[in-house]
Structure 1
Amino acid sequence: MKKYFGLREAILGVVVAMNSLPASAEQTMSERLGEILEQRADSHLDADFAYKNLELVTLLGELRAHEIRLSTRAVELDAGLNEVLRADSVIVEGEWLGSGHNTLIVDSVTAKDAQLTIAYWDKGQSNLHALYNAANQQAQLQRASQPIIWQIKRAYLDNVVLNLFDQGQPILSVRLASLELPEASVDDTADDYIARLLWPVLEQVLEQAMTGSSDAVVDYGRLTQFIWREIR
């Protein structure tokens, strides 16, 4: 089964929690879902999840959220660089709302008008590493206590700005029409996953720069130093 990092753990946790937690009479299902997302980001990912509004469309099997923010809490980074993902809207589609306790099927996750920031402070250490490691640890604990069958068929960012920082300094900023999130597996390390996400983009930017067609903002000196450090 295909597995995608990022929103997968949040969605998975929400489905399990919604099947097990009682709702108060004053809460709508959407309000309850938003509360669970915030709690799961805090307790499972050591992260902060925020949104302007969130709507659960049960007839269509959709979750729609607007102005979302997902931020880590690395003390080595300032608040701005801890913000891994922001998006004007996120739509989750699938027949997952009626699934059983141990089954989750999502057809697609799409984040539109997004910004993905990868901020390193040392070799193999970044905000995305912190988020991935926390998610992977939680997934391993969950598999041990409650086996779950799940699949996310497609996940991508539409109209996304990818930013790369190292030690607080900007290295790269490029706008992409779309960025499909790579598959993740239980055997992956954070380095494995980020390499599949980041290196193809860097190769594309460098190839375009050589032909003079790149519209990316790049500090080539810092980028070269960063690449040599991370690949050694």
Structure 2
Amino acid sequence: MARSKLSFIIISLALALTSVPASAEQTLSERLGDILQERADSHLGADFAYRKLELITLLGELRAEDIRLTTRVEALDEGLNQVLRADQVLVKGEWLTPQKNSLAVDSVVARDAQLTVAYYGKGQSNLHALYEAAMRQQVLQRASNSIMWQIKQSRLENVVLNLFDQGQPILSVRLALLKLPPAHADDTADTYIAKLLWPVLEQVLEQAMAGNSDAVVDYSRLTQFIWREIR
């Protein structure tokens, strides 16, 4: 589900960390938290909230608790705009490098999470909104300075995946592990979301047909949704 909202935040985080100013009034962790919220607002048109955020520079780690990422799509109600919530997030990598044109995130892990994908039209969802905003920022940054970045691994552990279309629930399933595909700069929102969403739907449908799925599925709406999106 798109560069994963999680990945969007991490990319912004990594870029921000290359120029976090020292402050006598704030710790680096506190300043970073402010920057993440500012960038979610200005770069992604979204709201990023957290209860606790700790930057461990010696280990190259970021640890956060009780995070929320919420879009502002007018066609969606408030609940469907909340694309991600997670009790814990751990980020590891070499993204504290002083080289401003290079960064690498080794892994992003979110635990006890809920991921909500809400469509309101063909090729239009909360995830598309995030992805396209992130791509616009990347184009602007490339215009002034080419930035080489990569996110090697991303996964959600004990995650509830919800799929909505035009305000109506289509699917809700709890997954022990959801691995997110690698992100590439030349992906579009549609191609990246397809890499993640369609394999999950296929897996859920196979389990349901075998009678061993705990997913709640509206098969009629799911069929209509798939038919519309693949045409």
**C-alpha distance in 1 between matches for 2:57 and 2:150:** 19
**C-alpha distance in 1 between matches for 2:11 and 2:222:** 36
Superposed displacement of residue 23, structure 1: 3.1
Change in 2 beyond 3 A, CA 1:200/1:66: same
1:168 matched to 2:160? The reply is: no
1:106 matched to 2:110? The reply is: no
Change in 2 beyond 3 A, CA 1:80/1:22: same
1:211 matched to 2:210? The reply is: yes
* 1:28 corresponds to: 27
TM-score (norm 1): 0.94
- Please, which runs of 5 or more residues in structure 1 have no aligned partner? none
**C-alpha distance in 2 between matches for 1:19 and 1:229:** 43
Asked if 2 retains the 8 angstrom alpha-carbon contact of 1:15 and 1:101, the reply is no
- Please, which runs of 5 or more residues in structure 2 have no aligned partner? none
Runs (4+) of structure 1 moved beyond 4 Å? none
**C-alpha distance in 1 between matches for 2:79 and 2:127:** 13
Question: SS of 2:135's equivalent?
Answer: helix
Superposed displacement of residue 101, structure 1: 1.7
Question: SS of 1:203's equivalent?
Answer: helix
> Which whole-Å deviations, capped at 9, do the CAs of 1:11-64 have from their partners, x for residues lacking one?
333333333343321100000000000001001111110000100111211100
Letter in 1 for 2:137: Q
* 1:145 corresponds to: 144
Change in 2 beyond 3 A, CA 1:31/1:164: same
**C-alpha distance in 2 between matches for 1:59 and 1:18:** 14
Asked if 1 retains the 8 angstrom alpha-carbon contact of 2:70 and 2:83, the reply is yes
> Which whole-Å deviations, capped at 9, do the CAs of 1:147-196 have from their partners, x for residues lacking one?
11222211111111110001111100011111111123232221111111
**C-alpha distance in 2 between matches for 1:143 and 1:167:** 35
**C-alpha distance in 2 between matches for 1:111 and 1:225:** 31
| Greater mean deviation of Cα atoms: 159-168 or 22-31 | 22-31
Letter in 2 for 1:75: E
* 1:6 corresponds to: 5
- Within a 5 Å distance, the mapping from 1:105-144 to structure 2 comes to 105-144=104-143
How many correspondences in the alignment?
230
TM-score (norm 2): 0.94
Q: CA RMSD in A?
A: 1.6
1:193 matched to 2:172? The reply is: no
- Within a 5 Å distance, the mapping from 1:66-81 to structure 2 comes to 66-81=65-80
Asked if 1 retains the 8 angstrom alpha-carbon contact of 2:3 and 2:192, the reply is no
Change in 2 beyond 3 A, CA 1:203/1:29: same
Letter in 2 for 1:93: K
Change in 2 beyond 3 A, CA 1:211/1:5: closer
* 1:184 corresponds to: 183
Asked if 1 retains the 8 angstrom alpha-carbon contact of 2:153 and 2:182, the reply is no
